Amino acid sequence: MYMGKSENIKPIGFFDSGVGGLSVMKKAIEFMPWEDYIYFGDSKNAPYGTKTVDEVKELTFNAAEFLIKQGVKAVVIACNTATSAAIDELRAHYKEIPIIGIEPALKPAVELSDGGKIIIMATPMTLAEKKFKKLMDRYAEEADIIPLPCAGLVELIESGVTEGDELIQFLEDKFQDIDKDTISAVVLGCTHYPFVKKAISKVLGEKAILIDGSEGTAKELRRRLGKNGILGDKGRKGQIKIYNSLKDNKVIELSYRLLE
C-alpha cells in the first residue's frame, strides 16, 4: 500500500505543542539525514500539559490534519502529552499513515539504574493519564519510581530560557523534597526537557543519568518507514521546513537555534 516512488520522496511530519519536539526531530535527522522534514510547533497554544484531555485531543487532531495536508508520509507526535491524550484515536482515524508517538523512557532507566530512585519529570497531564499509569505498573516492582510533575518548565523553554539563574532556581525548587544523593536516573518525559539537560545535571550533580525518549522514537520511525517500504533515497541531503502557530519570527529563530 505504501510502495511506489512518490511515497518515498514525501517529507516526514513532526508535531509538538511547541519547540520541544525538535529534540526528537534532531535525533531523526541524525539517523536519517537524507529525509525531508516538516515540523509544526503549536507554541500559540502551549503549554498542553495543564489543559484538559479533550482540548489537547482537538489541538493534536488539527496539527495532524495540517501535516497530512502538507503531504507527509508519516507523522511523529513528538510530544508526550499529546501522545498520551490522542495517539489511540489518531491511529484509528488515520489508518493509512504511520503515526509514531513518544512516551517516558522508563525501560532504559530501570535497566541502567543501580537501585537508586528513578525520577520521571513530565507534564501534569502525562503523569495523570492512563498510559503512564500502565507504564508505572509495569516497572513498579523493579524500581523506586517517583513521578515529578514540572508545570512551568515548558513555558520557560518556550521563551528561550535554556540556562541561567531563573532556570536553576526553578529546578532547585522542583527537587527540593527529594534527596539528590539517592537519585540514580532521571527520565525526561517531556520533549522540551532535553534542551535543559545541562541545567538539570548542574542541579543534581553528574551521578544521576538523564534519559530521554528521542533515540527510541527516532529508531521506531526508521523501523516503520523501512517496514512500509517508504524510506527515502539515502544518497541525498534532506530539507527542513519549520512552521509555528505563533506567527512570530522569534519562535522560528529559536527553533533553528535548538536544532543546531
- Show which residues are catalytic: 79, 190
Residue 213's DSSP bridge partners are none
Residue placing its CB nearer to ligand DGL in the complex, 230 or 258: 258
62 is in an annotated binding site: no
User: What b/e string do you get for 7-24 counting C-beta neighbours within 10 Å, with b at 16 or more?
Assistant: bbebbbbbbbbbbbbbbb
Residue choice 12, 79, 127, 221 for contact with ligand DGL (CB under 6 A): 79
- Choose which of 22, 29, 46, 218 interacts with ligand DGL (CB under 6 A): 46
Q: Which is nearer to ligand DGL, 213 or 232 (CB)?
A: 213
- The reply, when asked if residue 192 is annotated as ligand binding, is yes
CA distance 193 to 200: 9
Least Å distance between CB 165 and ligand DGL?
Answer: 23
Q: Which of positions 149-208 make contact with ligand DGL (CB under 6 A)?
A: 154, 190-192
Q: What is the dihedral of CA 81, 85, 88, 91, to 10 degrees?
A: -70
Which residues within the stretch 241-260 sit at the binding site for ligand DGL (CB under 6 A)? none
CA–CA separation, 196 vs 201, rounded Å?
9
Tell me how far, at minimum, the Cβ of 211 lies from ligand DGL, in Å.
14
List C-alpha distances in Å: 45 to 11, 75, 79: 25, 20, 13
- Site membership for ligand DGL, residue 81 (CB under 6 A): yes
Distance CA 96, CA 114 (A): 43
Which residues define the annotated binding site for substrate? Answer: 16-17, 48-49, 80-81, 191-192
List contacts with ligand DGL (CB under 6 A). 16-18, 20, 46-49, 79-81, 123, 126, 154, 190-192
